[in-house]
Amino acid sequence: GNSVTQMEGPVTLSEEAFLTINCTYTATGYPSLFWYVQYPGEGLQLLLKATKADDKGSNKGFEATYRKETTSFHLEKGSVQVSDSAVYFCALSDRTGGFKTIFGAGTRLFVKA
Amino acid sequence: ETGVTQSPTHLIKTRGQQVTLRCSSQSGHNTVSWYQQALGQGPQFIFQYYREEENGRGNFPPRFSGLQFPNYSSELNVNALELDDSALYLCASSLGPGDDSPLHFGNGTRLTVT
C-alpha cells in the first residue's frame, strides 16, 4: 500500500542553520504530497503542498519539490529560527477506497538560539 | 472563523468500556476525518465522513465507528476498549473530501485505557 518514510529525529540545529528533512514515498498513481507541522501545544497544520511532479511547494521560507524520479519530497529551509521548533510530518494523498491522507512518523526539530 | 474543536481534551477509561469522542468542524467544512496518533508516531487514518456518509475507512476494526450530523459535527465511538487504544485521537475537517482541500486539525483528545 501507499506509505511515507521520513528521517528519524530529533534534529537539533543552531539558529540560522540550513535545514533538510528527508521524505520518500511509495504510491501507485500520482498522489499529492504535503508537509504538515505541529507547533508545541497546537494542532497539526498544513505547511505546504505539491500536486504534481516537479511542483515546488513553499511557505514561511520552507520549500519542498515533488521528485517523481526519486519518489521524494524533502523539506528545506535556508535559515531556521527558534520559532521553527516543531514536529514536521510528510504526507501523501491516497485515493484508493475513498480519499485519505497518509502521514509519516514525524520528525522533531529543535532550534537553539 | 471558528476552528476545529474536540471534546473532551483528556479521558481515562477502563478496558472493556465504551467511549465517545466529539468534534465540531470548522465553519463551512463538510468533511471530517478521524485519526489515531500513538506516542511518537504519525497519525493513522481511521475513517472519513462526507455529508453524513462514511467516505473511506482505514485498517481499524468494526468496534471503531462514527457518525456525522447535519451540521457536519462528528462523533467517534470505540467499543470494548483495549489497552492499545490509548492514543491521541485527532479530528480534521476540510472543505471537501479531495486533496485540494487541506485538513484542519483540532488539538485532539488524549485517551488513556487502563
- Closest-CA distance, A28 to chain B, in angstroms, reads 15
Q: Contacts of residue B100 in chain A, CB cutoff 8 Å?
A: 51
- Confidence band, pLDDT 50/70/90 cuts, at residue A17: very high
Could you say which of A99, A103, A105 has the minimum Cβ distance to residue B99?
A99
CA dist., res. B98 & res. A43, Å (int): 21
- Confidence band, pLDDT 50/70/90 cuts, at residue A5: very high
CA dist., res. A98 & res. B59, Å (int): 13
Integer CA distances (angstroms), B19 to A28, B34, B37, B50, in order: 36, 15, 17, 22
Closest to B10 in 3D by CA, of B78, B105, B110? B110
- Confidence band, pLDDT 50/70/90 cuts, at residue A99: confident
Half-sphere exposure of A13 (CA within 13 A, CB side): 22
Three-state DSSP at A89 gives: strand
Question: Does residue A44 belong to the interface with chain B, where contact is any CB pair within 8 Å?
Answer: yes
Per-residue DSSP letters for chain B? ----EEE-SEEEE-TT--EEEEEEPPTT--EEEEEEE-TTS--EEEEEEETTEEEEE-S--TTEEEEE-TTS-EEEEE-S--GGG-EEEEEEEESSSSTTS--EE---EEEEE-
pLDDT of residue A30: 86
Question: Does residue B48 belong to the interface with chain A, where contact is any CB pair within 8 Å?
Answer: yes
CA dist., res. B45 & res. B35, Å (int): 5
Residues A8, A21: contact at Cβ < 8 Å? no
* Mean pLDDT rounded to a whole number for chain A: 94
pLDDT of residue B26: 93
Question: Does residue B23 belong to the interface with chain A, where contact is any CB pair within 8 Å?
Answer: no
Percent of chain A with pLDDT over 70: 100
pLDDT of residue B1: 61
Average pLDDT of A78-82? 97
Residues B50, B56: contact at Cβ < 8 Å? no
The strand pair at A11-14 and B74-78 is best described as unpaired
How many CB atoms lie under 10 A from the CB of residue A96?
12
Q: Which residues numbered 74-93 in A keep a CB inside 8 Å of some CB on B?
A: 89, 91, 93
Closest to B110 in 3D by CA, of B91, B92, B90, B88? B88
Instruction: Give chain B's residues under pLDDT 50.
Output: none
Could you say which of B41, B56, B102 has the minimum Cβ distance to residue A99?
B56
- Closest-CA distance, A4 to chain B, in angstroms, reads 10
Q: Which residues numbered 10-29 in A keep a CB inside 8 Å of some CB on B?
A: none
> Which is more confidently placed, A89 or A29?
A89
Average pLDDT of A64-81? 97
Partner-chain contact A44 B4, CB within 8 Å: no
pLDDT of residue B49: 95
